[in-house]
A = this chain, B = another copy of it.
Amino acid sequence: MNLSQIELLRILQETNFSLSKAAEKMNIVQSAVSRQLQLFEGEIGSPLFERHGKKLTAMTPLGLRIIEEVNAINQAKNNIQALAADYLDSNHGVLHIATTHTQAKYFLPKPILRFREKYPGVRIYMDEASPEQLINKLHTGKADIAICTEKVADDVYLAVKSCYEWHHAAIMPKNHPLADGEVTLERLASFSILTYSFGFTGRSNIEKAFEKSESKLDIVLSAADTDVIKTYVRLGLGVGIIAGMAYDATIDSDLVARDLSHLIPCSKTKIAYLKNNYLPLYGQHFIDELLQAVSKGNL
């Protein structure tokens, strides 16, 4: 058993068990990969992959169990390298942030700007994805930190911290009837609604608000992206329900925003990361700042 065999197993997960693709990723010839897998399976004494003829199609139960340990080894190996790099120079590196569009555009800009000032040597990768994909990106090492509003699955490998509480708002053109008077669930429900897709940006809280109510929302358009919602609200398709922070009085001066905090429960933006994943110091600082800045209202 050696580390390149472990690495090979990890990569085979990603390449749909293709030896040739794995070889390419590892920058060695395919025959070498084939032999290394044989050697490893020989050492284990049992096949780790189901085969249709020569082609690998799936993992055996033993293989699946062993892959868990393989992933643990890979995680630890990456941590060692990250620790070493961080120790040599804790001001340079990369930070992969996976988040949703709304957080990326309306919550993170200021924190990231402050972070850039402190760590100009850190390259930031912003990775947009749906909330359910975010966790997967953490597990596959494609992201260091995930930031989103919707519930992150109960996962013992995950650390989750709440960092920001916000409310939804209704937006509409200036001359819209809902721009004046009291906003109630019933009244809101009397208009065509545009809001986030299922699983995005507190959509579950919108559902919750109308769960007990007699009124039902007529959602004519749902999108993952606040800007898409705004666009169609401007075209007169109806009333948008968006995250309060996504309304910008300057840019959106043609729209009216009405607070919905009395109608829809408050949403919490959360930070999640793998407990087992070593985060460089600047990554830890980024999280700390996010937690503190929010509590100080420094947004």
| Chain A residues within 8 Å of B, Cβ to Cβ | 1-3, 43-46, 62, 65-66, 69-70, 72-73, 75-77, 79-81, 83-85, 87-88, 276, 278
Contact = CB atoms under 8 A, between A and B. Distances in A.
A55 to B, nearest CB: 23
A6 to B, nearest CB: 8
A46 B88 CA distance: 7
A76 B77 contact: no
Contacts of A278: 69
B77 A73 contact: yes
28 contacts: A1-B3, A1-B77, A1-B80, A2-B3, A3-B3, A43-B84, A44-B80, A44-B84, A45-B84, A45-B87, A45-B88, A46-B87, A46-B88, A62-B83, A62-B84, A66-B80, A66-B84, A69-B76, A69-B77, A69-B79, A69-B80, A69-B278, A70-B76, A72-B73, A72-B75, A73-B73, A73-B77, A76-B76
A124 to B, nearest CB: 24
A73 to B, nearest CB: 5
A44 B84 CA distance: 5
A44 to B, nearest CB: 4
A49 to B, nearest CB: 14
A83 B76 CA distance: 20
Contacts of A80: 1, 44, 66, 69-70
Contact of A83 (B43, B65, B77, B88): B65
